Structure 1
Amino acid sequence: MRKLSVFYEHILQACEQSGKTIPEVLAFCREQGISAVEMNYSLFASEREVIAPMLSDAGLVISCMHETFDFSHDTDLGRAQQMLDTAASQQVSRVLFVAGALETAEAAELAACSSTYEATSTFMAKNKSIQNMVHALSSLAEYAALRGVSITLEDFDGFLQPFARTYPLLWFMEHVPGLRYTLDIGNFAFSDEDVSYAAWLLKDYIVHVHCKDRAESPLVHGRFCRGLGQTPAGTGYLPMAKLLTDLEACDYDGYLAIEHFDAPDQLSFIEQSAAFLRQWVSK
Protein backbone atom coordinates (compact mmCIF):
# COMPACT_ATOMS: atom_id res chain seq x y z
CA MET A 1 0.00 0.00 0.00
CA ARG A 2 1.49 3.33 -1.09
CA LYS A 3 1.65 5.86 1.75
CA LEU A 4 3.29 9.23 2.36
CA SER A 5 6.23 9.89 4.64
CA VAL A 6 8.40 12.91 5.37
CA PHE A 7 11.91 13.35 6.72
CA TYR A 8 11.92 13.95 10.47
CA GLU A 9 14.64 16.56 9.94
CA HIS A 10 12.06 18.58 7.96
CA ILE A 11 9.76 18.52 10.98
CA LEU A 12 12.53 19.84 13.21
CA GLN A 13 13.35 22.58 10.71
CA ALA A 14 9.65 23.47 10.42
CA CYS A 15 9.59 23.95 14.19
CA GLU A 16 12.58 26.29 14.02
CA GLN A 17 11.02 28.29 11.19
CA SER A 18 7.47 28.52 12.53
CA GLY A 19 7.84 28.45 16.30
CA LYS A 20 5.48 25.47 16.49
CA THR A 21 6.20 22.50 18.73
CA ILE A 22 7.18 19.09 17.36
CA PRO A 23 3.78 17.57 18.30
CA GLU A 24 2.03 20.45 16.51
CA VAL A 25 4.03 19.89 13.32
CA LEU A 26 3.52 16.12 13.54
CA ALA A 27 -0.23 16.73 13.80
CA PHE A 28 -0.03 19.07 10.80
CA CYS A 29 1.72 16.34 8.79
CA ARG A 30 -0.95 13.83 9.77
CA GLU A 31 -3.61 16.24 8.52
CA GLN A 32 -1.83 16.29 5.13
CA GLY A 33 -2.22 12.52 4.81
CA ILE A 34 1.33 11.72 5.92
CA SER A 35 1.52 8.52 7.95
CA ALA A 36 5.25 8.04 8.61
CA VAL A 37 8.63 9.71 9.01
CA GLU A 38 12.05 9.02 7.55
CA MET A 39 14.33 8.80 10.58
CA ASN A 40 18.06 9.28 11.07
CA TYR A 41 19.29 6.38 13.18
CA SER A 42 21.75 8.36 15.34
CA LEU A 43 19.10 10.94 16.17
CA PHE A 44 16.56 8.26 17.08
CA ALA A 45 19.05 6.28 19.15
CA SER A 46 19.99 9.36 21.18
CA GLU A 47 16.39 10.53 21.75
CA ARG A 48 14.39 7.32 21.46
CA GLU A 49 12.51 7.77 24.74
CA VAL A 50 11.25 11.15 23.54
CA ILE A 51 10.74 10.54 19.81
CA ALA A 52 9.00 7.16 19.95
CA PRO A 53 6.06 8.25 22.15
CA MET A 54 5.64 11.52 20.21
CA LEU A 55 5.31 9.59 16.96
CA SER A 56 2.90 7.13 18.54
CA ASP A 57 0.74 9.92 19.97
CA ALA A 58 0.61 11.52 16.51
CA GLY A 59 -0.39 8.25 14.84
CA LEU A 60 2.85 8.10 12.87
CA VAL A 61 5.37 5.30 12.36
CA ILE A 62 8.92 5.17 10.99
CA SER A 63 8.99 4.35 7.28
CA CYS A 64 12.76 4.01 6.91
CA MET A 65 15.90 4.60 8.96
CA HIS A 66 18.96 6.16 7.33
CA GLU A 67 22.57 6.53 8.41
CA THR A 68 26.05 7.20 7.05
CA PHE A 69 28.81 4.61 7.41
CA ASP A 70 32.36 4.13 6.13
CA PHE A 71 32.28 0.53 4.94
CA SER A 72 34.94 1.46 2.38
CA HIS A 73 37.49 1.51 5.23
CA ASP A 74 35.85 0.43 8.50
CA THR A 75 35.38 -3.33 8.96
CA ASP A 76 33.55 -3.03 12.30
CA LEU A 77 29.88 -3.71 11.56
CA GLY A 78 28.69 -3.43 15.15
CA ARG A 79 27.01 -0.04 14.83
CA ALA A 80 25.24 -1.05 11.63
CA GLN A 81 24.00 -4.23 13.30
CA GLN A 82 22.68 -2.16 16.20
CA MET A 83 20.82 -0.01 13.69
CA LEU A 84 19.26 -3.09 12.11
CA ASP A 85 18.25 -4.40 15.53
CA THR A 86 16.66 -1.05 16.33
CA ALA A 87 14.83 -0.97 13.00
CA ALA A 88 13.44 -4.44 13.61
CA SER A 89 12.32 -3.49 17.13
CA GLN A 90 10.36 -0.56 15.65
CA GLN A 91 8.84 -2.70 12.85
CA VAL A 92 10.81 -0.71 10.26
CA SER A 93 11.31 -2.91 7.19
CA ARG A 94 13.63 -0.60 5.21
CA VAL A 95 16.94 1.02 6.06
CA LEU A 96 19.11 3.25 3.89
CA PHE A 97 22.88 3.12 4.18
CA VAL A 98 25.14 5.83 2.82
CA ALA A 99 27.74 3.12 2.72
CA GLY A 100 31.08 4.85 2.17
CA ALA A 101 33.17 7.01 -0.12
CA LEU A 102 36.13 6.89 -2.47
CA GLU A 103 39.20 9.07 -2.57
CA THR A 104 38.86 12.01 -4.96
CA ALA A 105 41.08 10.47 -7.65
CA GLU A 106 39.19 7.17 -7.47
CA ALA A 107 35.85 8.95 -7.72
CA ALA A 108 37.07 10.86 -10.76
CA GLU A 109 38.13 7.62 -12.42
CA LEU A 110 34.74 6.06 -11.76
CA ALA A 111 32.91 9.13 -13.06
CA ALA A 112 34.97 8.97 -16.25
CA CYS A 113 34.00 5.37 -16.96
CA SER A 114 30.44 5.22 -15.61
CA SER A 115 28.72 5.87 -18.93
CA THR A 116 28.92 2.15 -19.80
CA TYR A 117 28.18 -0.84 -17.63
CA GLU A 118 31.21 -2.75 -18.87
CA ALA A 119 33.73 -0.06 -17.91
CA THR A 120 31.92 0.52 -14.63
CA SER A 121 32.04 -3.18 -13.79
CA THR A 122 35.77 -3.38 -14.52
CA PHE A 123 36.50 -0.48 -12.18
CA MET A 124 34.19 -1.68 -9.40
CA ALA A 125 35.63 -5.19 -9.43
CA LYS A 126 39.22 -4.04 -8.89
CA ASN A 127 38.68 -1.19 -6.43
CA LYS A 128 39.54 -2.16 -2.84
CA SER A 129 37.21 0.34 -1.17
CA ILE A 130 34.26 -0.87 -3.22
CA GLN A 131 35.08 -4.49 -2.51
CA ASN A 132 35.13 -3.62 1.20
CA MET A 133 31.65 -2.14 0.81
CA VAL A 134 30.42 -5.25 -0.99
CA HIS A 135 31.73 -7.48 1.78
CA ALA A 136 30.13 -5.35 4.51
CA LEU A 137 26.81 -4.95 2.71
CA SER A 138 26.61 -8.67 1.93
CA SER A 139 27.12 -9.57 5.57
CA LEU A 140 24.67 -6.94 6.78
CA ALA A 141 22.01 -7.84 4.19
CA GLU A 142 22.06 -11.39 5.52
CA TYR A 143 21.89 -10.12 9.11
CA ALA A 144 19.00 -7.81 8.17
CA ALA A 145 17.02 -10.48 6.34
CA LEU A 146 16.91 -12.60 9.49
CA ARG A 147 15.19 -9.66 11.18
CA GLY A 148 12.73 -8.87 8.40
CA VAL A 149 14.61 -5.77 7.25
CA SER A 150 15.89 -4.83 3.77
CA ILE A 151 19.04 -2.77 3.27
CA THR A 152 18.95 -0.19 0.50
CA LEU A 153 21.30 2.16 -1.31
CA GLU A 154 20.11 5.35 -2.99
CA ASP A 155 21.48 7.38 -5.86
CA PHE A 156 23.36 9.71 -3.53
CA ASP A 157 24.05 13.30 -4.51
CA GLY A 158 27.77 13.28 -3.82
CA PHE A 159 30.85 13.07 -6.02
CA LEU A 160 32.82 10.68 -3.80
CA GLN A 161 30.11 8.06 -3.29
CA PRO A 162 30.33 5.13 -5.75
CA PHE A 163 26.53 4.75 -5.80
CA ALA A 164 25.63 8.16 -7.23
CA ARG A 165 25.19 6.97 -10.81
CA THR A 166 23.04 4.45 -12.65
CA TYR A 167 25.50 1.73 -13.64
CA PRO A 168 27.44 1.65 -10.35
CA LEU A 169 24.11 1.25 -8.56
CA LEU A 170 23.13 -1.61 -10.86
CA TRP A 171 26.50 -3.22 -10.21
CA PHE A 172 25.96 -3.08 -6.44
CA MET A 173 22.47 -4.58 -6.82
CA GLU A 174 23.86 -7.44 -8.88
CA HIS A 175 26.81 -8.16 -6.56
CA VAL A 176 25.23 -7.91 -3.10
CA PRO A 177 22.58 -10.61 -2.53
CA GLY A 178 19.44 -9.13 -1.01
CA LEU A 179 20.44 -5.50 -1.52
CA ARG A 180 17.61 -3.22 -2.62
CA TYR A 181 17.27 0.29 -4.03
CA THR A 182 15.79 3.55 -2.79
CA LEU A 183 14.98 5.67 -5.82
CA ASP A 184 15.74 9.32 -5.12
CA ILE A 185 14.05 11.07 -8.00
CA GLY A 186 16.06 14.27 -7.57
CA ASN A 187 19.57 12.97 -7.17
CA PHE A 188 20.40 11.80 -10.68
CA ALA A 189 20.35 15.49 -11.59
CA PHE A 190 23.47 15.89 -9.44
CA SER A 191 25.31 13.49 -11.75
CA ASP A 192 23.54 14.86 -14.84
CA GLU A 193 21.95 11.48 -15.59
CA ASP A 194 18.51 10.52 -16.87
CA VAL A 195 16.29 9.56 -13.92
CA SER A 196 13.71 7.96 -16.22
CA TYR A 197 16.25 5.54 -17.67
CA ALA A 198 17.69 4.79 -14.23
CA ALA A 199 14.26 4.08 -12.75
CA TRP A 200 13.46 1.74 -15.64
CA LEU A 201 16.80 -0.08 -15.42
CA LEU A 202 16.61 -0.49 -11.63
CA LYS A 203 12.85 -1.00 -11.31
CA ASP A 204 13.11 -4.59 -10.08
CA TYR A 205 15.13 -3.43 -7.06
CA ILE A 206 13.04 -0.41 -6.00
CA VAL A 207 11.48 -0.76 -2.55
CA HIS A 208 11.45 2.88 -1.41
CA VAL A 209 11.13 6.27 -3.11
CA HIS A 210 12.31 9.77 -2.18
CA CYS A 211 10.08 12.23 -4.03
CA LYS A 212 12.65 15.01 -4.34
CA ASP A 213 12.00 17.50 -7.12
CA ARG A 214 14.46 20.11 -8.40
CA ALA A 215 13.98 23.79 -9.20
CA GLU A 216 15.29 25.03 -12.53
CA SER A 217 18.16 27.53 -12.54
CA PRO A 218 18.98 29.84 -15.47
CA LEU A 219 22.67 29.23 -14.74
CA VAL A 220 22.58 25.44 -15.17
CA HIS A 221 22.49 23.86 -18.63
CA GLY A 222 23.35 20.19 -18.24
CA ARG A 223 22.05 17.45 -20.47
CA PHE A 224 19.57 16.38 -17.77
CA CYS A 225 20.40 18.71 -14.88
CA ARG A 226 18.79 22.15 -15.10
CA GLY A 227 19.27 23.06 -11.44
CA LEU A 228 19.51 21.53 -7.97
CA GLY A 229 17.40 23.90 -5.89
CA GLN A 230 14.67 22.83 -3.47
CA THR A 231 11.05 22.91 -4.59
CA PRO A 232 7.87 21.08 -3.54
CA ALA A 233 7.21 17.76 -5.27
CA GLY A 234 5.53 18.28 -8.62
CA THR A 235 6.63 21.90 -9.05
CA GLY A 236 10.11 21.32 -10.49
CA TYR A 237 11.40 20.21 -13.87
CA LEU A 238 11.77 16.48 -13.16
CA PRO A 239 9.19 14.03 -14.64
CA MET A 240 7.80 13.24 -11.20
CA ALA A 241 4.22 12.47 -12.27
CA LYS A 242 5.27 10.06 -15.03
CA LEU A 243 7.75 8.27 -12.80
CA LEU A 244 5.18 7.77 -10.04
CA THR A 245 2.56 6.62 -12.53
CA ASP A 246 5.04 4.13 -13.98
CA LEU A 247 5.84 2.85 -10.48
CA GLU A 248 2.14 2.48 -9.78
CA ALA A 249 1.77 0.45 -12.99
CA CYS A 250 4.60 -1.81 -11.77
CA ASP A 251 2.65 -2.40 -8.52
CA TYR A 252 5.04 -0.43 -6.34
CA ASP A 253 3.48 -0.46 -2.88
CA GLY A 254 6.06 1.28 -0.68
CA TYR A 255 6.34 4.75 0.78
CA LEU A 256 6.53 8.00 -1.16
CA ALA A 257 8.85 10.12 0.96
CA ILE A 258 8.65 13.91 0.87
CA GLU A 259 12.15 15.36 0.73
CA HIS A 260 13.37 18.94 0.44
CA PHE A 261 16.17 19.61 2.90
CA ASP A 262 16.75 23.27 3.82
CA ALA A 263 13.52 24.47 2.24
CA PRO A 264 12.86 28.11 3.19
CA ASP A 265 9.35 27.27 4.45
CA GLN A 266 9.08 23.61 5.35
CA LEU A 267 5.42 23.76 6.40
CA SER A 268 4.39 25.21 3.05
CA PHE A 269 6.65 22.85 1.11
CA ILE A 270 5.32 19.82 3.03
CA GLU A 271 1.72 20.90 2.41
CA GLN A 272 2.32 21.39 -1.32
CA SER A 273 4.28 18.15 -1.71
CA ALA A 274 1.65 16.12 0.13
CA ALA A 275 -1.16 17.64 -1.95
CA PHE A 276 0.63 16.62 -5.15
CA LEU A 277 1.63 13.14 -3.99
CA ARG A 278 -1.73 12.13 -2.52
CA GLN A 279 -2.99 11.18 -5.97
CA TRP A 280 -0.63 8.18 -5.89
CA VAL A 281 -1.50 7.07 -2.37
CA SER A 282 -3.33 3.74 -2.30
CA LYS A 283 -7.03 4.14 -1.62
Structure 2
Amino acid sequence: MQQPAIATFYDHIADIAKQEGCSVPEALREAGKLGVMALEVSCFNTAGQADKLAGELSEAGMGVTAMPSFFSFESDTDVESQAEKIFADAKTIGARKLLVIPGFIPEGADREACTRQIIDCTKRLGELADRAGFALTMEDFDNERSPISDSSGMLRFMDAVPGLTACFDTGNFYFAGEDALDAFERLRGCIGHVHLKDRSLTEDFGTEPRKTVDGSPMHPSPVGAGVIPMGELLEKFMDGGYNGPYTIEHYGAEPMLECLKRSVEWLRARLEEAGI
Protein backbone atom coordinates (compact mmCIF):
# COMPACT_ATOMS: atom_id res chain seq x y z
CA MET A 1 0.00 0.00 0.00
CA GLN A 2 1.30 3.44 -0.95
CA GLN A 3 2.29 5.68 1.95
CA PRO A 4 -0.01 8.69 2.39
CA ALA A 5 1.45 12.12 1.91
CA ILE A 6 3.27 13.58 4.91
CA ALA A 7 2.67 17.30 5.14
CA THR A 8 3.25 20.28 7.40
CA PHE A 9 2.41 23.98 7.39
CA TYR A 10 4.05 26.68 5.29
CA ASP A 11 4.17 28.71 8.52
CA HIS A 12 6.43 26.02 10.00
CA ILE A 13 8.75 26.31 6.99
CA ALA A 14 8.94 30.05 7.57
CA ASP A 15 9.76 29.40 11.24
CA ILE A 16 12.56 27.02 10.24
CA ALA A 17 14.01 29.65 7.92
CA LYS A 18 13.96 32.25 10.69
CA GLN A 19 15.29 29.98 13.44
CA GLU A 20 18.00 28.34 11.33
CA GLY A 21 19.07 31.53 9.55
CA CYS A 22 18.36 30.23 6.06
CA SER A 23 16.06 31.15 3.19
CA VAL A 24 12.56 29.76 2.74
CA PRO A 25 13.62 27.74 -0.34
CA GLU A 26 16.45 26.23 1.74
CA ALA A 27 14.00 25.41 4.54
CA LEU A 28 11.69 23.77 2.00
CA ARG A 29 14.57 21.60 0.81
CA GLU A 30 15.37 20.57 4.39
CA ALA A 31 11.76 19.60 4.98
CA GLY A 32 11.79 17.63 1.76
CA LYS A 33 14.87 15.70 2.90
CA LEU A 34 12.98 14.70 6.04
CA GLY A 35 10.13 13.27 3.99
CA VAL A 36 7.65 16.15 3.86
CA MET A 37 5.86 16.01 0.51
CA ALA A 38 3.22 18.73 0.80
CA LEU A 39 2.15 21.79 2.75
CA GLU A 40 -0.90 23.55 4.07
CA VAL A 41 -0.70 27.14 2.90
CA SER A 42 -3.10 29.59 4.52
CA CYS A 43 -4.93 32.57 3.06
CA PHE A 44 -2.67 34.77 5.19
CA ASN A 45 0.39 33.22 3.52
CA THR A 46 -0.97 33.85 0.02
CA ALA A 47 -2.23 37.40 0.59
CA GLY A 48 -0.48 39.50 -2.03
CA GLN A 49 2.06 36.82 -2.90
CA ALA A 50 0.20 33.79 -4.24
CA ASP A 51 2.25 33.75 -7.46
CA LYS A 52 5.53 33.90 -5.54
CA LEU A 53 4.47 31.07 -3.24
CA ALA A 54 3.31 28.97 -6.18
CA GLY A 55 6.79 29.34 -7.68
CA GLU A 56 8.51 28.36 -4.42
CA LEU A 57 6.35 25.28 -4.04
CA SER A 58 6.85 24.24 -7.63
CA GLU A 59 10.62 24.60 -7.39
CA ALA A 60 10.65 22.53 -4.19
CA GLY A 61 8.39 19.86 -5.68
CA MET A 62 5.87 20.38 -2.87
CA GLY A 63 2.14 19.82 -3.24
CA VAL A 64 -0.63 21.60 -1.34
CA THR A 65 -2.96 19.51 0.82
CA ALA A 66 -5.32 22.29 1.93
CA MET A 67 -5.62 26.04 2.29
CA PRO A 68 -6.64 27.21 5.79
CA SER A 69 -9.15 29.96 4.98
CA PHE A 70 -10.40 32.49 7.51
CA PHE A 71 -13.81 34.11 7.08
CA SER A 72 -15.68 36.69 9.14
CA PHE A 73 -19.21 35.35 8.86
CA GLU A 74 -20.04 36.57 12.38
CA SER A 75 -19.93 40.16 11.11
CA ASP A 76 -19.90 40.01 7.29
CA THR A 77 -22.55 37.98 5.47
CA ASP A 78 -21.28 38.88 1.98
CA VAL A 79 -20.04 35.35 1.34
CA GLU A 80 -19.34 35.91 -2.34
CA SER A 81 -17.00 38.83 -1.70
CA GLN A 82 -15.01 36.98 0.96
CA ALA A 83 -14.79 33.82 -1.12
CA GLU A 84 -13.65 35.49 -4.35
CA LYS A 85 -10.09 36.32 -3.28
CA ILE A 86 -9.59 33.06 -1.39
CA PHE A 87 -10.78 30.99 -4.36
CA ALA A 88 -8.41 32.90 -6.67
CA ASP A 89 -5.38 32.38 -4.42
CA ALA A 90 -6.26 28.72 -3.86
CA LYS A 91 -6.32 28.12 -7.61
CA THR A 92 -2.98 29.89 -8.02
CA ILE A 93 -1.20 27.64 -5.51
CA GLY A 94 -3.03 24.49 -6.59
CA ALA A 95 -5.15 23.94 -3.48
CA ARG A 96 -8.32 21.96 -4.11
CA LYS A 97 -9.40 21.75 -0.47
CA LEU A 98 -10.20 24.66 1.82
CA LEU A 99 -9.93 24.32 5.60
CA VAL A 100 -12.70 26.68 6.65
CA ILE A 101 -12.41 28.79 9.80
CA PRO A 102 -15.82 30.45 9.49
CA GLY A 103 -15.67 33.10 12.20
CA PHE A 104 -15.63 33.76 15.94
CA ILE A 105 -18.33 34.75 18.41
CA PRO A 106 -17.78 38.40 19.44
CA GLU A 107 -17.60 39.10 23.15
CA GLY A 108 -21.05 39.88 24.49
CA ALA A 109 -22.85 38.58 21.38
CA ASP A 110 -25.78 36.15 21.41
CA ARG A 111 -23.81 32.93 20.84
CA GLU A 112 -26.72 30.95 19.42
CA ALA A 113 -27.87 33.64 17.00
CA CYS A 114 -24.30 34.29 15.88
CA THR A 115 -23.66 30.57 15.37
CA ARG A 116 -26.79 30.24 13.22
CA GLN A 117 -25.61 33.14 11.06
CA ILE A 118 -22.17 31.58 10.65
CA ILE A 119 -23.74 28.24 9.69
CA ASP A 120 -25.98 29.90 7.09
CA CYS A 121 -22.99 31.66 5.54
CA THR A 122 -20.98 28.44 5.55
CA LYS A 123 -23.81 26.70 3.67
CA ARG A 124 -23.64 29.41 1.03
CA LEU A 125 -19.86 29.05 0.90
CA GLY A 126 -20.31 25.32 0.35
CA GLU A 127 -22.53 25.99 -2.67
CA LEU A 128 -19.98 28.40 -4.16
CA ALA A 129 -17.07 26.05 -3.45
CA ASP A 130 -18.84 23.11 -5.08
CA ARG A 131 -19.37 25.13 -8.25
CA ALA A 132 -15.74 26.28 -8.21
CA GLY A 133 -14.40 22.74 -7.70
CA PHE A 134 -13.25 23.03 -4.09
CA ALA A 135 -13.85 20.60 -1.23
CA LEU A 136 -14.46 22.03 2.23
CA THR A 137 -13.23 20.69 5.56
CA MET A 138 -13.42 22.14 9.07
CA GLU A 139 -11.33 21.50 12.20
CA ASP A 140 -11.86 21.62 15.95
CA PHE A 141 -10.39 25.12 16.23
CA ASP A 142 -8.67 25.80 19.55
CA ASN A 143 -10.32 29.07 20.52
CA GLU A 144 -13.19 29.27 23.00
CA ARG A 145 -14.92 31.92 20.87
CA SER A 146 -15.01 29.49 17.95
CA PRO A 147 -18.33 27.72 17.31
CA ILE A 148 -16.33 24.65 16.24
CA SER A 149 -14.00 24.20 19.22
CA ASP A 150 -15.32 20.73 20.08
CA SER A 151 -16.91 17.74 18.38
CA SER A 152 -20.48 18.88 19.15
CA GLY A 153 -19.89 22.18 17.38
CA MET A 154 -18.28 20.44 14.44
CA LEU A 155 -21.13 17.95 14.09
CA ARG A 156 -23.63 20.79 14.00
CA PHE A 157 -21.86 22.23 10.98
CA MET A 158 -21.42 18.81 9.32
CA ASP A 159 -25.16 18.19 9.65
CA ALA A 160 -26.04 21.59 8.16
CA VAL A 161 -23.55 21.90 5.29
CA PRO A 162 -23.71 19.29 2.51
CA GLY A 163 -20.32 17.84 1.58
CA LEU A 164 -18.47 19.41 4.51
CA THR A 165 -16.01 16.99 6.14
CA ALA A 166 -14.27 17.05 9.50
CA CYS A 167 -10.59 17.87 9.72
CA PHE A 168 -9.63 15.90 12.83
CA ASP A 169 -6.99 17.88 14.74
CA THR A 170 -5.68 15.42 17.31
CA GLY A 171 -4.43 18.08 19.75
CA ASN A 172 -7.27 20.58 19.77
CA PHE A 173 -9.79 18.45 21.64
CA TYR A 174 -7.35 18.61 24.57
CA PHE A 175 -7.75 22.39 24.47
CA ALA A 176 -11.52 22.00 24.85
CA GLY A 177 -11.26 19.42 27.63
CA GLU A 178 -12.60 16.68 25.38
CA ASP A 179 -11.06 13.22 25.04
CA ALA A 180 -9.66 12.80 21.52
CA LEU A 181 -10.58 9.10 21.33
CA ASP A 182 -14.19 9.89 22.28
CA ALA A 183 -14.23 12.68 19.71
CA PHE A 184 -13.01 10.24 17.07
CA GLU A 185 -15.96 7.94 17.71
CA ARG A 186 -18.36 10.87 17.38
CA LEU A 187 -16.78 12.09 14.13
CA ARG A 188 -15.80 8.71 12.70
CA GLY A 189 -18.14 8.88 9.72
CA CYS A 190 -17.19 12.32 8.45
CA ILE A 191 -13.38 12.63 8.76
CA GLY A 192 -11.86 13.87 5.53
CA HIS A 193 -8.59 15.45 6.67
CA VAL A 194 -6.17 14.99 9.58
CA HIS A 195 -3.82 17.25 11.55
CA LEU A 196 -1.34 15.37 13.73
CA LYS A 197 -0.77 17.61 16.75
CA ASP A 198 0.56 16.49 20.11
CA ARG A 199 0.62 18.51 23.34
CA SER A 200 3.31 18.68 26.02
CA LEU A 201 3.11 19.72 29.66
CA THR A 202 6.76 20.85 29.61
CA GLU A 203 8.64 23.62 27.82
CA ASP A 204 11.05 21.37 25.89
CA PHE A 205 9.87 22.63 22.49
CA GLY A 206 8.21 25.93 23.25
CA THR A 207 8.49 28.52 25.99
CA GLU A 208 5.17 30.40 25.77
CA PRO A 209 2.30 28.10 26.80
CA ARG A 210 -1.19 28.13 25.36
CA LYS A 211 -4.04 27.73 27.84
CA THR A 212 -6.84 25.20 27.72
CA VAL A 213 -10.41 26.30 28.44
CA ASP A 214 -9.85 25.45 32.11
CA GLY A 215 -6.63 27.48 32.24
CA SER A 216 -4.13 24.60 32.17
CA PRO A 217 -0.89 25.29 30.25
CA MET A 218 0.02 23.28 27.16
CA HIS A 219 3.12 23.41 24.98
CA PRO A 220 4.10 22.24 21.49
CA SER A 221 5.45 18.70 21.17
CA PRO A 222 6.86 16.42 18.49
CA VAL A 223 4.17 14.00 17.40
CA GLY A 224 4.20 10.93 19.63
CA ALA A 225 6.17 12.58 22.45
CA GLY A 226 3.36 14.33 24.32
CA VAL A 227 0.17 13.54 26.20
CA ILE A 228 -2.20 12.90 23.27
CA PRO A 229 -2.75 9.17 22.45
CA MET A 230 -1.26 9.59 18.99
CA GLY A 231 -0.54 5.90 18.38
CA GLU A 232 -4.12 4.86 19.14
CA LEU A 233 -5.53 7.68 17.03
CA LEU A 234 -3.32 6.82 14.07
CA GLU A 235 -4.46 3.20 14.26
CA LYS A 236 -8.08 4.36 14.27
CA PHE A 237 -7.50 6.54 11.21
CA MET A 238 -5.95 3.65 9.31
CA ASP A 239 -8.50 1.06 10.48
CA GLY A 240 -11.27 3.44 9.50
CA GLY A 241 -10.00 3.62 5.94
CA TYR A 242 -8.54 7.12 6.01
CA ASN A 243 -5.97 7.35 3.23
CA GLY A 244 -5.51 11.11 2.92
CA PRO A 245 -2.52 13.20 3.94
CA TYR A 246 -1.26 13.57 7.51
CA THR A 247 -0.38 17.19 8.26
CA ILE A 248 2.09 17.55 11.12
CA GLU A 249 1.43 20.62 13.24
CA HIS A 250 3.28 22.22 16.14
CA TYR A 251 2.82 25.99 16.13
CA GLY A 252 5.19 27.77 18.50
CA ALA A 253 7.77 24.98 18.53
CA GLU A 254 11.46 25.82 18.81
CA PRO A 255 13.62 24.49 17.35
CA MET A 256 11.01 23.79 14.69
CA LEU A 257 13.32 21.78 12.44
CA GLU A 258 14.18 19.28 15.17
CA CYS A 259 10.54 19.01 16.19
CA LEU A 260 9.52 18.34 12.57
CA LYS A 261 12.30 15.77 12.17
CA ARG A 262 11.16 13.82 15.21
CA SER A 263 7.51 14.02 14.16
CA VAL A 264 8.20 12.72 10.66
CA GLU A 265 10.38 9.90 12.01
CA TRP A 266 7.63 8.85 14.42
CA LEU A 267 4.96 8.89 11.73
CA ARG A 268 7.01 7.03 9.14
CA ALA A 269 7.91 4.34 11.69
CA ARG A 270 4.24 3.83 12.62
CA LEU A 271 3.21 3.64 8.97
CA GLU A 272 5.95 1.14 8.20
CA GLU A 273 4.90 -1.00 11.18
CA ALA A 274 1.40 -1.04 9.68
CA GLY A 275 2.79 -2.18 6.33
CA ILE A 276 2.09 1.14 4.62
Shorter-chain TM-score category? 0.7 to 0.9
Q: Equivalent residue of 1:139, what SS?
A: helix
- Which of 55, 58, 72 is 1:56 aligned to? 58
- 2:73 corresponds to: 71
SS across alignment from 1:72:
coil
Superposed, 1:64-213 pairs within 5 Å as 64-77=66-79, 78-105=81-108, 127-213=112-198
Counterpart CA distance in 1 for 2:118 and 2:19 is 38
AA aligned opposite 2:39: V
Q: Out of 11, 18, 21, which is 1:19 matched to?
A: 21
Q: Give a deviation string over 1:145-171, Cα, whole Å, max 9, x none.
A: 223321122111111111101211111
- 1:262 equivalenced with 2:265 (yes/no): no
Q: Does structure 2 conserve the Cα–Cα contact (< 8 Å) formed by 1:153 and 1:182?
A: yes
TM-score by length of structure 1 reads 0.86
Give aligned-pair identity as a percent.
Answer: 30
Asked which structure has the greater RCO (Cα within 8 Å, sep 6+), the reply is: 1
Distance 2:127 2:88 in 1: 13
Q: What are the equivalent positions in structure 2 for 1:230-269 lying under 5 Å apart?
A: 230-269=220-259
Shifted more, 258-267 versus 210-219: the winner is 210-219
Q: Distance in 2 between matches of 1:253 and 1:225?
A: 35
Q: CA deviation at 1:105?
A: 4.8
Change (3 A) 1:226 1:217: farther
Rounded Cα–Cα distance in structure 2 between residues aligned with 1:212 and 1:50? 28
C-alpha separation in 2, matches of 1:163 and 1:267 = 30
- Which segment drifts farther, 145-154 or 16-25? 145-154
The 8 Å contact of residues 134 and 172 in structure 1, kept in 2 or not, is answered as yes
Q: CA deviation at 1:76?
A: 1.5
- Aligned mates of 1:102, 1:195 — CA distance in 2: 24
Query: 1:71 touches 1:99 (CA, 8 Å); kept in 2?
Result: yes
Matching of residue 280 in structure 1 with residue 266 in structure 2: no
Gapped runs of 5+ residues in structure 1? 111-126
Distance 1:200 1:105 in 2: 33
For residues 19-74 of structure 1, the C-alpha deviation after alignment (integer angstroms, 9 at most, x for no partner) is: 11111111111111111111111321311232111111111011110122211121
Say if 2:220 and 2:250, in contact at 8 Å, map to a contact too. yes
Identify the match of residue 6 of structure 1 among 8, 22, 32: 8
Pairwise CA distance, 1:244: 0.9
Distance 1:200 1:69 in 2: 28
> In structure 2, what is the equivalent of residue 114 of structure 1?
none
* Structure 2 CA distance for aligned equivalents of residues 249 and 136 of structure 1: 34
Structure 2 alignment gaps of length 5 or more: 204-208
Judging changes above 3 Å, is the alpha-carbon distance between structure 1 residues 226 and 215 closer, same or farther for their aligned structure 2 residues?
farther
1:238/1:156 Cα in 2 relative to 1: closer, same or farther (>3 Å)? same
Which residue number in structure 2 is paired with residue 122 of structure 1? none
Within the alignment, does 1:44 sit opposite 2:46 as a pair? yes
Distance 2:104 2:28 in 1: 34
- CA distance in structure 1 between the partners assigned to 2:169 and 2:217 by the alignment: 16
Shift in Å at residue 82 of structure 1? 2.8
Note the C-alpha offset of 1:88: 3.9
Q: Between Structure 1 and Structure 2, how many residues are aligned?
A: 264
Letter of the 1:246 counterpart: K
Letter in 1 for 2:170: I
